[in-house]
Amino acid sequence: MDFKELAKEYGTPLYVYDFDYMTAQYNELKEAFRGRKSIIAYAVKANSNLSVIKHFAKMGSGADCVSIGEVRRAFLAGIPAYKIIFSGVGKSDAEIREAIERDILYINVESEAELGRVELIAKELNVAARISIRVNPNIDPKTHPYISTGLHDNKFGVDLDSAKRMYIKANNSQNLDPVGIHFHIGSQLTELQPIREAAEIVADLVRSLDAIDIELKFFDVGGGLGIKYDNETLIQPYDYAQAILGTLTGLDMTILCEPGRFLTANAGYFVTKVLYEKQNGSKKFVVVDGAMNDLLRPSLYNAYHEIEALTENKDDLREVDIVGPVCESGDFFAKDYALPPLNHNDLLVIKSAGAYGFGMGSNYNTRGRSAEVAVENGKARLIRRRENFDDLIALETKYLED
């Protein structure tokens, strides 16, 4: 990929996405579940650009959504209603109502209180709302605490006893139709055993429900497959699928898998331009035009991203902090990172930026968000233009007082 040409045409900072890589990742995961009824539902939160969602839609993907805005994006991108799931801890009444009215596959319910709201709204609409219940199996996913979701310390899902009680209530309700069960223990998972253990726990719950004539159709395993940022040992999709399928003996259910990062992270690159180098005492800084408002993961999680310097000089490596223009000491992409001497307008390519990159961006310091470009079959196209100052003030100017 010619990042210099892309930067010349579209400017920096810039997000670049390799759609061919996304295709290969999707096909590999779909193939892993071959022979079993399955739906791959792309986790829209990973990268919600409409062109990205449409790319997966054309391959037959569904969509896992965590806001009604993401549900609307999924419809706009061509995902059919029967492949859309609405998850998330804090759904408003308006969101629940719209999800029911749009007749999506099901709503993932995260608490007894939420189940009550779904039932009440479905009753007002005189329908039976299809639901799944998110079970929290209390399994340590062995990942970053901010992206761990399967322990009782986390806000997600309900414990096994509560889940069973909720299924019985839903089954006895005229306005609820329990069709699935869901679990998701965390993101960036690199160990198979926690996934297998969680699947076993949830599959046993399905069997206990089946014994009292509550028959579920969908076994929703969430997402979370890890990707390589640095030197992680990864789970192979085939092994992942087999570990889950091995827990479903005697159960005829459709597998629903919700990958996000796995599909898009390593397809994405964040390209930023060197402005200056500076020295403060013994500390060397490389100041670039991208910032934490463009790519937050290093500041938020202290996340590692491999960084490549596009410069003729590859020798004389020294450790530098790579920082942006935002007025925060937390505005950095890497600390003590080995790079060669850099000149004004040299480019840095920050890799593995296709998931939780642009979507977590902001306009902090009144900075417009970056442009986004897709590259497919060797051809580049703009899929979101760069924000300008007028975009940033458009929702404010008419409210200015004289």
Output the domain CATH number for residue 277.
Answer: 2.40.37.10
Of 113, 211, 327, 395, which one is the catalytic site residue?
327
pLDDT of amino acid 154: 56
Q: Which residues contact 367 (CB under 8 A, 6 or more apart)?
A: 291, 293, 294, 325, 326
Domain membership flag for residue 229? yes
> Total domain count for the chain?
2
Domain membership flag for residue 110? yes
pLDDT of amino acid 142: 54
pLDDT of amino acid 140: 64
Q: Encode 240-290 in three state secondary structure.
A: HHHHHHCCCCCCCCEEEECCCHHHHHHHEEEEEEEEEEEEECCEEEEEECC
* 259 annotated binding-site participant: yes
Structure tokens belonging to residue 45: 């939160």
* 95 annotated binding-site participant: no
**DSSP code, position 217:** -
Domain membership flag for residue 210? yes
* 232 annotated binding-site participant: no
pLDDT of amino acid 285: 97
What are the φ and ψ backbone dihedral angles of 320, each rounded to 5 degrees?
-135, 155
CATH of the domain at 41: 3.20.20.10
- Nearest CA to 38 among 355, 259, 213? 259
pLDDT of amino acid 42: 98
Domain membership flag for residue 37? yes
45 and 190 in one domain? yes
* 356 annotated binding-site participant: yes
Domain closes at, from 207, 229, 259: 259
Predicted TM-score (pTM) of the model is 0.94
195 and 170 in one domain? yes
pLDDT tens per residue across span 84-101: 999 999 999 999 999 999
281 and 238 in one domain? no
Could you tell me the residue range of the domain that residue 86 belongs to? 33-259
pLDDT of amino acid 156: 72
pLDDT tens per residue across span 225-235: 999 999 898 99
pLDDT of amino acid 401: 84
Question: Buried b vs exposed e over 232-261: b needs ≥16 C-beta within 10 Å?
Answer: eeebebeebbebbbebbeeeebbbbbbbbb
Domain closes at, from 204, 224, 259: 259
Using 50 as the pLDDT threshold, list the residues of the chain that sit under it. Answer: 143-152
Residue 327 designated active-site: yes
